[in-house]
Amino acid sequence: MIPDGSGEPVEYEHIRSAVLGWFRVNARPLAFRATSDPWAILVSEFMAQQTQAARAAEAWERFLVEFPTPPALADASPAAALRAWRGLGYNRRALSLRAAAREIVDRHGGHVPTDLAALDALPGVGPYTARALAALAFGQRFGAVDTNVRRVLGRALFDEMPGARELQGAADEIVPADGPGEWTHALMDVGATFCRPRNPRCAECPIQPWCRYAARSRDRADRGSAATPPKRRAGKPAQTPFESTSRWLRGRILDRLRDAAPSVWVSFADPIGSHPPATVASALARLASERLVETRDGAPAEARLPID
């Protein structure tokens, strides 16, 4: 790519215009995109870390009714945070978000910090979430690189997938000075809609005219290599039924505790689904070691959500 007078590749402005033009017509209607409140955006980013965006958006609205500010969550018990997290899975995120809220209260006067380093230092916040929050909540020119964005920019801008530092530099450079938050959402939607890990929809993608990956695909097609039948892949091994997994069992334990009255000890002496008492006991012990539950002294088969 040839730099223009600003020092950036000339394709960047074309890519920005094409992506934003497409996004303004086709943006996914996710509830949390309508807010500019830094706390609400931070909550949405925690929820979307390992959960589909549409599912996270539904839980996000309920969560903010109960915890509309960092102090509201900071003052709540771990049990209250876990109850409000129901349906999202990966429940340690609820405790990390509560820990972040407490640090926001203790170190930042109850307001989400604007500085990137301070954001990155919050519990549960890594480089991606910090940059996403800086762009979405504060309009700062940082590129938020998650798995999808890494794939989009790595394919579009490079002949081979670059290292993390080089890719992050390109992601920061291509962010428009005006509207970094809109760009962040737009690039994520391009990744979710077109630039899939397998069978990307290059012909429909707004970046296609400037994308190096798409150009290589066109070259292969012109040479006739696209007509070569793909190699047969070995059959996938049969998947383990979800109900027999540890993740399923952990979810059922936590849901049973969510349904119980606060502070009430619940017995787990019986099987749960196909899991015998010994397996249930092991799952309880693991949950207790992660501070997602408390087990009763002298009665390890009895548990409750943590109240401290």
Q: Provide the 3-class DSSP secondary structure of residue 120.
A: helix
d(CA 214, CA 211): 5
DSSP structural state of residue 201: -
The single residue of 8, 11, 13, 45 carrying the catalytic annotation is: 45
264: exposed, middle or buried (C-beta count within 10 Å: 0-12, 13-18, 19+)?
exposed
Tell me whether residue 285 is exposed, middle or buried, using C-beta atoms within 10 angstroms of its C-beta: 0 to 12, 13 to 18, 19 or more.
Answer: middle
Instruction: Kindly state the tokens that stand for 40.
Output: 């609400």
Whole-angstrom Cα distance, residue 273 to residue 19?
48
Structure tokens at 116: 């990137």
The neighbouring-strand residues paired with 303 are 266, 295
Q: What is the distance between the alpha carbons of residues 63 and 75, in angstroms, rounded to a whole number?
A: 15
Distance of CA 161 to the CA centre of its chain: 22
Per the annotation, the verdict on 294 as an active-site residue is no
CA angle 11, 13, 16 (to 5 degrees): 105
- In whole angstroms, what separates CA 66 from the centre of its chain? 21
Catalytic residue list: 45
